[in-house]
């Protein structure tokens, strides 16, 4: 496999998803969180827990949840450069490179209609 520099063209898009964590947390054994305990004097319990993820990519850069990144693009003339245009469905991954951890994964089903 040969390493090649590629120019990547990505359309503007926004990915947003939210879901309840209640059932997954119960499956992990955290059932007491979601019911009032008989010996509790506070009368408080958790009714639900949610997770929401957000990613927007546009001409100014990208924003994921509350973190912002700016994409800088260098230009040089190269008539033989390879170009990848993401004009069909694609998967995306945001990785933190220092500890090599995935922070965000997503799927753009129709990039031309976002």
- In degrees and rounded to multiples of 5, residue 23 shows phi and psi of -65, -40
Determine the pLDDT at residue 66. 46
Long-range contacts of 92-99 (CB under 8 A, 24+ apart): 92/15, 92/55, 94/55, 94/64
Determine the pLDDT at residue 27. 92
pTM of the model as a whole: 0.58
pLDDT, tens only, 88-107: 888 888 888 899 988 888 88
Pairing of strands 6-9, 82-85: parallel
Q: How many Å apart are CA 14 and CA 109, to the nearest integer? A: 11
As a whole number, the mean pLDDT across the chain is 76
pLDDT, tens only, 27-78: 998 887 777 655 566 666 677 888 888 888 887 877 776 444 444 444 556 6
Q: How many Å apart are CA 19 and CA 38, to the nearest integer? A: 29
Domain boundaries, the chain: 6-113
**Token digits for 84?**
């990848």
């Amino acid at each position: 496999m040969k390493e090649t520099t590629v120019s990547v063209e990505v359309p503007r898009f926004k990915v947003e998803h939210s879901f309840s964590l209640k059932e997954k947390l119960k499956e992990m054994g955290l059932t007491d969180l979601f019911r009032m305990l008989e010996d509790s004097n506070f009368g408080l319990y958790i009714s639900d827990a949610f997770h929401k993820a957000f990613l927007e990519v546009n001409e100014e850069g990208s924003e994921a949840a509350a973190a912002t990144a700016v994409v800088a693009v260098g230009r040089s003339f190269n008539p033989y450069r390879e170009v990848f245009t993401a004009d069909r469905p694609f998967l995306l991954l945001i990785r933190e490179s220092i500890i090599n951890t995935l922070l965000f994964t997503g799927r753009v089903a129709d990039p031309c209609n976002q």
